[in-house]
Amino acid sequence: MTDDSQAGGAEENIPPELNTLRNSIDNLDAAVIHIMAERFKITQRVGELKAELGLPPSDPAREQVQIARLRTLAEDSHLDPEFAQKLLAFIVSEVVRHHTEIAEKK
Amino acid sequence: MTDDSQAGGAEENIPPELNTLRNSIDNLDAAVIHIMAERFKITQRVGELKAELGLPPSDPAREQVQIARLRTLAEDSHLDPEFAQKLLAFIVSEVVRHHTEIAEKK
């Protein structure tokens, strides 16, 4: 194990091109983690607001519009739209779980 | 439905603060989609490289280092480390599926 801060592991044993690619993956993953941290701060407030207003934690109509928009963005950026939709579903399911917990605490 | 490009849905019926929060969520989601598009371009090349070199599609040692690193990044940015780990597992499972397909085609 080297003492670098990236997640390359035992870098001396892997091909240089693979190591370079993995460093880029690690940078992009760090960006996603930080975006997700901001997104959860916002959805935390959404959950509180919905609980205050008596709105249900999940909103199927909003989710349908989100799915359609993200599939289009995925197609435009050459990402598999199915993956984009599954990723959103995964994130939303976590958020709804948080919202339900917030609502139950009130 | 309004003709705006965001995924807010019928914005006239929702509280202004909720609408503002949703617009921020939509912006962050667009950023994640574009990062994921770049990430898949890189993992596509990783898959090809691994197939060329006869390396297995999945790499448990690398994944353990990634998990530890992303959990630390999540803690530092006040994101639930469990969510970060589950998110990485979701993405990696999609990538390994792609790599397996690439290897089978060779």
Residue B6 within a domain:
no
The ipTM (two decimal places) reads 0.84
Domain contains A90: yes
Nearest CA in chain A to B29: A70
Give the global pTM.
0.83
Range of the domain at A63: 11-105
SS (H, E, C) chain B: CCCCCCCCCCHHHCCHHHHHHHHHHHHHHHHHHHHHHHHHHHHHHHHHHHHHHCCCCCCHHHHHHHHHHHHHHHHHCCCCHHHHHHHHHHHHHHHHHHHHHHHHHC
The reply to whether B5 falls in a domain is no
Q: Residue B93 falls within a domain, yes or no?
A: yes
Number of domains in chain B: 1
Nearest CA in chain A to B66: A7
Q: Mean per-residue pLDDT for B53-73?
A: 92
Q: What is the pLDDT of residues A49-103, one digit of tens each?
A: 998 999 988 889 999 999 999 999 999 999 999 999 999 999 988 888 877 777 7
CATH number for the domain spanning B60: value is: 1.20.59.10
CA distance B105 to chain A (A): 19
Task: Dump pLDDT digits (tens) for B12-40.
Answer: 578 999 999 999 999 999 999 999 999 99
The reply to whether B37 falls in a domain is yes
